[in-house]
């Protein structure tokens, strides 16, 4: 219960001041009780914002029950959680449906960024 409250607070804080059109963002559509969302939270979330990918496309968490955030248009309905939707200027560029595990998430996400944005990992600043 406490974990759910903390995640909800982090989601709220993380989404404040994040206009849909500012830059590429990764929308993570989740829901309470989603075991794969919880697995992502344990395996990926702690490092996400420290990576080149996470800095290029900051995370924006939304609950599946809330639908698309204001100013964002998904290409199609979200039916699975987690679903990771890469957006820019309020429109979907691509998505990863489900969580494939940490060994596959990073390469799939990098491929999504490279295919749909001007992301170039070699040009991203190093993080500590």
Domain ranges of the chain: 2-123
Span 2-123 CATH architecture: 3-Layer(aba) Sandwich (3.40)
Least confident of 7-21, 57-71, 72-86, 101-115: 7-21
CB atoms inside a 10 Å sphere around CB 58: 15
DSSP at 45: H
User: What's the pLDDT tens digit per position in 53-76?
Assistant: 999 999 999 999 999 999 999 999
**Nearest C-alpha neighbor of 114 from the set 93, 84, 85:** 93
Q: Which residue has the tokens 């929308």?
A: 27
Q: Are 26 and 57 in contact (CB under 8 A)?
A: yes
Q: Which of 92, 82, 76, 81 is nearest to 20 (CA)?
A: 92
SS3 71: coil
């Amino acid at each position: 219960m406490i974990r759910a409250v903390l995640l909800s607070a982090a989601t709220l804080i993380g989404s404040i001041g994040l206009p849909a059109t500012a830059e590429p963002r990764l929308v993570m559509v989740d829901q309470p009780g989603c075991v794969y969302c919880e697995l992502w939270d344990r395996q990926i979330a702690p490092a996400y914002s420290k990576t080149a990918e996470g800095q290029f496309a900051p995370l924006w968490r939304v609950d599946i029950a809330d639908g698309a955030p204001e100013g964002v248009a998904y290409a199609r309905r979200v039916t699975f959680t987690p679903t990771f939707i890469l957006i820019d200027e309020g429109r979907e560029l691509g998505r990863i449906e489900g969580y494939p595990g940490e060994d596959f998430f990073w390469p799939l996400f990098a491929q999504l960024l490279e295919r749909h944005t001007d992301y170039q990992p070699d040009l991203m600043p190093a993080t500590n």
